[in-house]
Structure 1
Amino acid sequence: MPTILVTGACGGVGSWTVEQFAREGHDVVGVDLETPSGTRENVDFKAADLTDYGETRQLVEAAEPDAVVHLAAIPNPEDHAGSRVFETNVTSTYNVLDAAGAVDARIVQASSESLYGTVFSEDDWLPDALPIDEETPTEPEDPYGLSKVVGEDVAARVARRHGVGAVSLRSSWVTYPGETRTREAREGFDPETAALSGNGWSHIDVRDLVRAIEAAIDAEIDGHEPVLVAAAENFLGRDTAATIEAVHGDLPATCAVKGTESIFDCSKAARVLGWEPDRSWRDAEDASVAGPAFV
């Protein structure tokens, strides 16, 4: 079985990704700032500071992975100094991806819907057209979204220099089975008082995101491909366009979103990766699924 190195292995998405690969029998190298309290068969956990190039390069070369899944990042610009978010995310991405390319490993990295600029915008602005796709301009105002724009440029550079395939998954807000955040948001929603959601109340179930990561590793990719991944519908159960108009007071001049559809067009994921979302809040909120036991 291929060896897969996963950064951010103790985080939410990272731990579910490590668990899935280990369950399938892959040899997994799970990397984070600290090793977890538990262990997992088929997984070799490593502690590393990925902002240190020498440390990162040494770790990747020793692992000799067939694929590198880079999920480590500071995800929230509101809880940290902006300079720390940007520097940490960009430096670690450069180090991990450059080391991965040097050992001829396929690359999958976590990008984000935040690079479009709508999520952390202070002005609650809308894109020029809906749905949003991979051709929609990236116009972030915040350091997290900007770090993802730069991270995709890094992936493209590594793909060119080393001739490896690289996929940047622009995922929506990640939700987990059995949690209540979407239910609470839906039940407390009032269009008269609600703030505009920067992602149109879109989301992605972590299990679908892990499937997208697997599909990206397996896909025949030449160069770098940014790919949007999101659930098919919003988590409010309301008409998407009508809700945006009610909250924002307007819609983009071009709006082709129908019914409860997500504002993100994931048709490229179907074409390039053979991936489509299977899950939504409708079957996830009451799901009883044990998460990774090693964290």
Structure 2
Amino acid sequence: LPEIGVETFRANALGTFVAIDAAQRSGVRRFFCASSINAYGTFFWRLSGQPVPYTKLPLNESFPPIPEDPYSLSKLVNEESCAAYHRAYGMTTAAFRFAGVWSHERYEQALATGLPPTTAWSDDLYQWVHVGDVVAGLRQALERADLPGFGVYTLGAGDTRCPEPTMELLQRLRPDLAATVSVPLPGRAPLLSIDHARQSFGYEPGYRLGA
């Protein structure tokens, strides 16, 4: 985190590097890394205070990362470590950008209390993901024999945390971003794309916060 930057970066970046290096030296041929949507550089801890330069929504893995804080930077470095070890040693490596992971207890509480009306724009894109969907997605990727040699995959929910339709939110809170929408967003479709994981290993989140 920003206030403990050196410790955060060392634990994440060096810790992951030590793990993948040890795996390679031990003959391990597949290595999966827990990255984070923070690797995009658009979520949380924008230290410069500058607005996020969205060019296309939903946000997907083709967006050039722009991290500013130690945690987000460390996650991007982890992805580069995975890419480097694939190039150098032919290992199959993958980095998974988890959305904000919810426990089942938090999920049930949200269903019980209902989703509050959305009154302000959030650069977290109202994303979330149930821990069960994260586990299922990782298992699907692990069991996929034809997974590419290296890949970055976002694991998120198939909806948002908002009760309102997604396009309605954009038009009301960020009309300037409506023109960046690159695919249809029916209903409460997410602004954080999970299409790459869907297409690569059949990821399909099963938990939703509404119809």
Q: CA deviation at 1:190?
A: 4.4
Count of aligned residue pairs for this structure pair: 202
Distance in 2 (alpha carbons) for counterparts of 1:182 and 1:151: 32
Question: Does the alignment pair 1:114 with 2:43?
Answer: no
Query: What residue is the counterpart of 1:269 in the other structure?
Result: 197
Deviations 1:3-23 (A, max 9, x none): xxxxxxxxxxxxxxxxxxxxx
Q: CA deviation at 1:156?
A: 0.8
Deviations 1:229-260 (A, max 9, x none): 11111011212233245344631632133331
Question: Does the alignment pair 1:208 with 2:208?
Answer: no
Distance in 2 (alpha carbons) for counterparts of 1:142 and 1:241: 30
Distance in 2 (alpha carbons) for counterparts of 1:185 and 1:125: 29
Aligned in 2, Cα 1:107/1:246: closer, same or farther, shift over 3 Å? same
Aligned-pair RMSD on alpha carbons?
A: 2.3
Query: What residue is the counterpart of 2:158 in the other structure?
Result: 232
Query: What residue is the counterpart of 1:178 in the other structure?
Result: 105
Distance in 2 (alpha carbons) for counterparts of 1:200 and 1:115: 15
Structure 2 counterpart of 1:93, one-letter code: T
Structure 2 counterpart of 1:114, one-letter code: N
Distance in 1 (alpha carbons) for counterparts of 2:156 and 2:70: 22
Query: What residue is the counterpart of 2:16 in the other structure?
Result: 93
> Which protein is richer in helix relative to its size?
2
Distance in 1 (alpha carbons) for counterparts of 2:11 and 2:114: 31
Distance in 2 (alpha carbons) for counterparts of 1:258 and 1:103: 47
Deviations 1:109-136 (A, max 9, x none): 1111111122122345252110111111
**TM-score normalised over the length of structure 1:** 0.62
Question: Does the alignment pair 1:148 with 2:75?
Answer: yes
- Aligned pairs for 1:130-141 within 5 A: 130-141=57-68
Which of residues 114, 118, 128 is equivalent to 2:55?
128
Q: What percent of counterpart residues are identical? A: 26
Give 3-state SS (helix, strand or coil) of 1:86's partner: helix
Query: What residue is the counterpart of 1:168 in the other structure?
Result: 95
Aligned in 2, Cα 1:202/1:147: closer, same or farther, shift over 3 Å? same
Query: What residue is the counterpart of 2:142 in the other structure?
Result: 217
Distance in 2 (alpha carbons) for counterparts of 1:166 and 1:185: 39
Give 3-state SS (helix, strand or coil) of 2:127's partner: coil
> Which protein is richer in strand relative to its size?
1
In 2, are the aligned partners of 1:204 and 1:230 still within 8 Å (CA)?
yes
In 1, are the aligned partners of 2:171 and 2:178 still within 8 Å (CA)?
no
In 2, are the aligned partners of 1:124 and 1:198 still within 8 Å (CA)?
no
Aligned in 2, Cα 1:241/1:104: closer, same or farther, shift over 3 Å? farther
Give 3-state SS (helix, strand or coil) of 1:141's partner: coil
Structure 1 counterpart of 2:205, one-letter code: P
Deviations 1:157-183 (A, max 9, x none): 112222221111111111111216756
**Structure 1 unaligned residues grouped into runs of 5+:** 1-76, 284-295
**TM-score normalised over the length of structure 2:** 0.84
Distance in 2 (alpha carbons) for counterparts of 1:236 and 1:129: 20
Distance in 2 (alpha carbons) for counterparts of 1:207 and 1:201: 19
Distance in 2 (alpha carbons) for counterparts of 1:278 and 1:246: 29
Query: What residue is the counterpart of 1:5 in the other structure?
Result: none
Structure 1 counterpart of 2:25, one-letter code: A
Give 3-state SS (helix, strand or coil) of 2:115's partner: helix
Higher relative contact order, chain-length normalized (CA < 8 Å, sep 6+) = 2
Query: What residue is the counterpart of 1:199 in the other structure?
Result: 124
Deviations 1:40-67 (A, max 9, x none): xxxxxxxxxxxxxxxxxxxxxxxxxxxx
Which of residues 80, 84, 89 is equivalent to 2:7?
84
In 1, are the aligned partners of 2:31 and 2:91 still within 8 Å (CA)?
yes
Query: What residue is the counterpart of 1:258 in the other structure?
Result: 186
Give 3-state SS (helix, strand or coil) of 1:226's partner: strand
Aligned in 2, Cα 1:86/1:182: closer, same or farther, shift over 3 Å? farther
Query: What residue is the counterpart of 2:172 in the other structure?
Result: 246
